[in-house]
Amino acid sequence: MSVKLTPYITLEGRAKEAIQFYVDVIGAEILSMITYGEMPDMPNTFTDELKRHVAHAKLKVGDTELMLSDTPIGSPLGNGKRVTICITTNDVEHSRKIYEALRQDGQVNMPFKEEPFSPGFGDVTDKFGVTFQIYTEIGQE
């Protein structure tokens, strides 16, 4: 079982621009990217503009990774949410255990569940005000 920490940047409609900037400036390689419009079971109330925004992207920078996404339009980016820490595991139950421990006396931002980009994902702010995204790698269980 493996665990790693990855910085996760959330932007307000500029993730594609940031991704291209990091590709050009620091030689990042795009490993994966999905837009809100490409995600299954998304509300048809999403505007065409939101559908073009990044729901999740993973870049490789040297020997490390960087993750990015856009916050949905009209959803304010809360304090402490611009840069969060993504804890990645290769086991859904281990991810769930970490999530459950971090949410004690904290705040659930997104319940832990299967997502199109991860078999187990959740977002929680711990009792110290630090926001973590718990991410299980696809096909790595």
> What confidence tens digit (pLDDT) does each residue in 57-110 have?
999 998 899 999 998 766 666 666 788 899 999 999 999 999 999 999 999 999
pLDDT greater than 80 at residue 52: yes
Residues 108-133: what's their mean pLDDT?
A: 92
Provide the token pair at 76. 């304010």
Q: How far apart are CA 105 and CA 53, in angstroms?
A: 33
User: CA-to-CA distance for 117 and 33, rounded, in angstroms?
Assistant: 9
- Sequence-distant (6+) residues with CB within 8 A of 43 are none
Q: Which amino acid is at 8?
A: Y
| pLDDT > 60? residue 140 | no
Mean pLDDT in the chain? Answer: 88
Query: What's the pTM value of the predicted model, to 2 decimals?
Result: 0.73
Domain enclosing residue 35, as ranges: 3-119
Say if 29 falls within a structural domain: yes
Cα(18)–Cα(88) distance, rounded to whole angstroms? 22
Domains in the chain: how many in total? Answer: 1
Q: What is the CATH number of the domain that holds 94?
A: 3.30.720.100
